[in-house]
């Protein structure tokens, strides 16, 4: 007989706000001492996991006792000001209400201590699903209180509104044909990427942090392809990219060692200040493209003023041309 640990019999604790103090990881301090968007989202993720622990639903216990995987399936973040490596970040997590489409909906706010008053750095919305995993041996039946959040598979395309994009063919011969179709006649860059085990969790599925890494790489490869790589602009103009907004929405599952076909499309260049890009991820199963995730990222550029400060700059003519798909 399986022995399970105690679990709250209602969602009341989950609906109570929680506050936790965190520090950014050193890995995310990529430019001077500023923390990049990916690791800002990692702070959001850590705040969500701590909220679940304090609500009596720790991720480890949910998996070990009931075979339930805590999956962050959607994250949308607005970065309002910079976070530095030694900052103490206060995270406040608030439930948006009862389950939405069978998922836990949360808002997360991050702030740091300013010279006089706290400074809000991030405002984020997060969606969480509990995905039942048949691997790993026997598990206790899912308690009734968890049933509204439990799914057998992450399959969200039916209720997640996906903005219009280049529709893939219904069937293709291979990945090359798929990428060609998705990038044809569009301001886009695409490539094939194999899912490694260290981007997965709960044994075999690509997790949210993996998609965030993938989006960061997509931008890096796109800019290099257009002749305005991050290193080139850093060397020539002392410019760095900054991200005021980003989001990733999972639509279906991608699995370890599958090939993910990723397309980054520049959708809009607003005046000379920011550009927005969309990431679409697909896997091929028996020749049928499966849309697994969609993401969006907004970029501006800043000039490094000193070891702590930067200021936003307008795009020059070269940036405008290259972002709009002109090579010259």
Instruction: Encode the chain (328 residues) as per-residue pLDDT tens digits.
Output: 566 777 887 888 889 999 999 999 999 999 999 999 999 999 999 999 999 999 999 999 999 999 999 999 999 999 999 999 999 999 999 998 665 678 999 999 999 987 778 999 999 999 999 999 998 889 999 999 999 999 999 999 888 877 656 678 889 999 999 999 999 988 999 999 999 999 999 999 999 999 999 999 999 999 999 999 999 999 999 999 999 999 999 999 999 999 999 999 999 999 999 999 999 999 999 999 999 999 999 999 999 988 888 899 999 999 999 999 877 5
Q: Count Cβ atoms within 10 A of the Cβ of residue 106 and give its class: 0-12 exposed, 13-18 middle, 19 or more buried.
A: buried
pLDDT at 100: 62
Largest CA distance in the chain: 70
**Considering the domain 153-328, what is its CATH architecture?**
Roll (3.10)
Q: Please give the Cα distance from 325 to 328 (Å, whole number).
A: 9
| CATH class, range 1-152 | alpha beta
**What residue segments make up the domains of the chain, in order of their start?**
1-152, 153-328
Q: Do domains 1-152 and 153-328 have the same CATH topology?
A: yes
Q: Which residues of 42-76 are buried (b: 16+ CB within 10 A; e: fewer)?
A: bbbbbbbbbbbebbbbbbebbbbbbbbbbbbbbbb
SS3 9: coil
pLDDT at 45: 98
pLDDT at 95: 92
Is the pTM for the entire model greater than 0.85?
A: yes
pLDDT at 78: 98
pLDDT at 7: 81
pLDDT at 164: 57
pLDDT at 103: 92
């Amino acid at each position: 007989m399986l022995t399970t640990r105690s679990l709250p019999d209602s969602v009341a604790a989950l609906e109570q706000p929680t506050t936790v103090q965190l520090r950014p990881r050193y890995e995310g301090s990529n430019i001077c001492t500023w923390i990049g968007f990916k690791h800002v989202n990692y702070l959001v993720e850590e705040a969500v996991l701590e909220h679940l622990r304090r609500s009596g639903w720790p991720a480890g216990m949910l998996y070990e006792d009931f075979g339930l995987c805590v999956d962050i399936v959607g994250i949308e973040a607005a970065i309002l000001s910079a976070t530095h490596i030694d900052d103490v970040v206060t995270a406040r997590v608030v439930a948006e209400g009862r389950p939405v489409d069978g998922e836990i909906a949360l808002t997360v706010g991050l702030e740091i201590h300013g010279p006089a008053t706290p400074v809000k750095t991030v405002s984020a919305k997060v969606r969480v699903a509990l995905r039942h995993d048949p691997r790993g041996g026997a598990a206790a039946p899912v308690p009734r209180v968890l049933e509204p959040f439990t799914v057998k598979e992450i399959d969200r395309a039916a209720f997640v509104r996906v903005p219009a994009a280049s529709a893939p063919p219904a069937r293709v011969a291979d990945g090359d044909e798929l990428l060609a179709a998705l990038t044809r006649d569009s301001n886009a860059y695409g490539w094939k990427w194999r899912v490694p085990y260290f981007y997965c969790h709960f044994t075999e599925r690509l997790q949210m942090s993996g998609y965030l890494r993938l989006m960061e790489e997509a931008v890096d490869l796109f800019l290099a392809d257009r002749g305005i790589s991050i290193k080139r602009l850093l060397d020539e103009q002392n410019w760095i990219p900054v991200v005021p907004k980003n989001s990733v929405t999972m639509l279906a599952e991608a699995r370890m060692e599958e090939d993910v076909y990723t397309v980054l499309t520049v959708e809009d260049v607003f005046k000379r200040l920011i550009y927005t890009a969309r990431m679409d991820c697909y896997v091929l199963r028996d020749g049928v493209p499966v849309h697994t995730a969609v993401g969006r990222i907004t970029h501006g550029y800043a000039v490094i003023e000193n070891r702590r400060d930067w200021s936003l700059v307008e795009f020059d003519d070269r940036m405008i041309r290259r972002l709009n798909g002109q090579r010259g």
